[in-house]
Chain A
Amino acid sequence: MTTRLVILAMLSIAASSFGFTPANAEADSNANGKELYQLCAQCHGKDGLGNQVALAPAIAGQRDWYLLNQITKFRSGQRGTHFYDIAGMRMRPMALSLRTDQDVADVVAYVAAMPPEKPAATLEGGDPEKGKTHFQVCLACHGPNGEGMQALNAPTLNHSSDWYLLTQLQNFRAGIRGTNPEDVTGAIMRPMSMTLPDEQALQDVIAYIMTLSESK
C-alpha cells in the first residue's frame, strides 16, 4: 500500500518533470476501483461474469448509473433486506463495506468498464418465439436489444445470466424486490413483471432475452 503510494508519487514527479500531466485523477480512481474489486471478485468472479453457486450475477459492463443505483439501494436497505431475499442479504454487507461515496463511484467505474460476455444458457424449456411476444412490453424500457435505457432507469439485460433473470423476475413478482416504499425504480419494474401471465412466460421471455445482444 505505502509502496504503491510512493511509486505513484515518484512516477507523477517524474512525469511532471518531463512536461507530462501528472498521473491524472481518472487513473488514480481506477486503481482504487481495481483494489476494491478484489472483494467483489470473491463472488462475481475476477472478470465480473458471475458465479451461480454464490448466487452472484454477472455485472461486467453493466451501465454505471444502474450499478450506482443498485449499490446505493443495497447500502440503504431498499434492496437486500427482505425476509425471503436470500441472495440480496448476501450482497448487502458487501455494499456496506464500501466506506465512502468515492469508493462506490470508483468500484462502479471499474465494473462498468469490464468487458461483458454473453453467458451460456442454463435453463431449458423456454420458447424464444413466444418470449418475443412478451418482450414487446419490456422493450419500451429495456430497449429492443435489451440494451437498457438510462432515461427510464432500466438496466441492460442482454448479458445477464438466465438463472439470475429468472430469480429477479420471480422476486419482483413475489414482492421480494421492488416493494420497499423507498425503492422508486423497483416499483416501476414490479408491475411489469406481473404482465407475464405465468412461470412458463418467464421462461419464454428469458429464452428470448438470451438471443439478444448488443448491436450498436
Chain B
Amino acid sequence: MIERYVEIASTYGGNIDALILLIAALVGFWLVLCEVVFIGFIIKFREKPGVRGQYITGEEKHQKRWIAIPHYLVLVCDIVIIVFAVNIWYTVKQDLPEPDVTVRIIGQQWAWSFVHPGTDGLLDTEDDIKMVDELHVEKDKVYHFKLEARDVMHSFSVPVFRLKQDAVPGRIITGWFEATKLGSFDIQCAEICGIGHGMMAAKIFIESPEEHQKWVALNDPTEDSKHTSTVAANNAAAN
C-alpha cells in the first residue's frame, strides 16, 4: 500500500511497511471507535428540557466497564504491536547477516561522504573510492555500513530502503542493507543538523554486477584512468 507512494528497494522494506500498517490499523480502529462512542454520548445526553445534569463519579461497576474492558483490549493490541516490532527491529538493526561488502558512510554539515572499498574489496586501502554525494552499490549483495559523523548528529535515511540510522559523533555504528532494485534513489538526512539540513541530499546508485565493476574500474584512484565523475577525480588527486 505504502509502496504505491514510495517504492521499496531493500529486503526488509516490506517488513517495515507491514509494521506501519499494523500499527495504523490497530490504533486507527480504536481511534474511530472512541470517537463514535464519544460523539454518540454527546448526542444522546445533550441538554433536554426538564432533565438536570448529574455529577458522575464513575465508581459504579456498569460505568467502570466503559474504561476497563477497552483498557484490557488495548493492552492486548499493544502486545501484538510489541511482538511484531521487536521481531522486525531484530532483523533490521540487530541480526546483521554476513556482509559481502562493507562501505563507510560519513555525515557532516551538510553532505554525505562515502568510502567504497574499490577493486580489492577492502576498506582503508589505497584504492578506496571516496565520494561526496554518491553511494554506489550492487544489487542483491549484503552491505554493511560503518556510519560516522564528523561534527554533529545526523541520520542516514534511504526512504526506498525504509532505513534510518542516527550518526553520532565519536561513534562508528554498523548497519546493513541489501538492495533489491536497480536505479538511483534519494538519500536524506533525517536529524536536524543545522541550517543546511534540508539540503543534505545524496544519491544511492544500485547497479548490476557488470555496471558496478565498470564503475569501480573507471574510478579506481590508483589508476590514472578517465574518471566518470568529477567528484571522484578531484578526490583521487588528494589521496
Contacts and interface: CB of A to CB of B under 8 A. Distances in A.
A130 interface: no
Given A89-B108, A89-B109, A83 B131 contact: yes
A189 to B, nearest CB: 14
Given A81-B133, A89-B111, A176 B238 contact: yes
A85 B131 CA distance: 11
Given A82-B234, A82-B235, A90 B109 contact: yes
Interface residues of B, number: 22
Interface in A71-106: 77-78, 81-86, 89-90, 92-94, 96-97
Contacts of A81: 111, 132-133, 230-231, 234
Nearest to B232: A83
Interface string B95-135: 00000000000001111010000000000000000111100
B42 interface: no
Contacts of B149: none
A175 B237 CA distance: 6
| A-side interface size class | 20 to 34
A102 B132 CA distance: 28
A85 B238 CA distance: 11
A96 B199 contact: yes
Contact of A83 (B130, B199, B227, B230): B130
Contacts of B227: 181
A180 B150 CA distance: 23
Contacts of B234: 81-82, 175, 179-181, 183
17 contacts: A42-B195, A82-B231, A82-B238, A86-B108, A89-B108, A89-B132, A90-B196, A92-B111, A174-B238, A176-B238, A179-B233, A179-B234, A179-B238, A180-B233, A181-B227, A181-B234, A183-B234
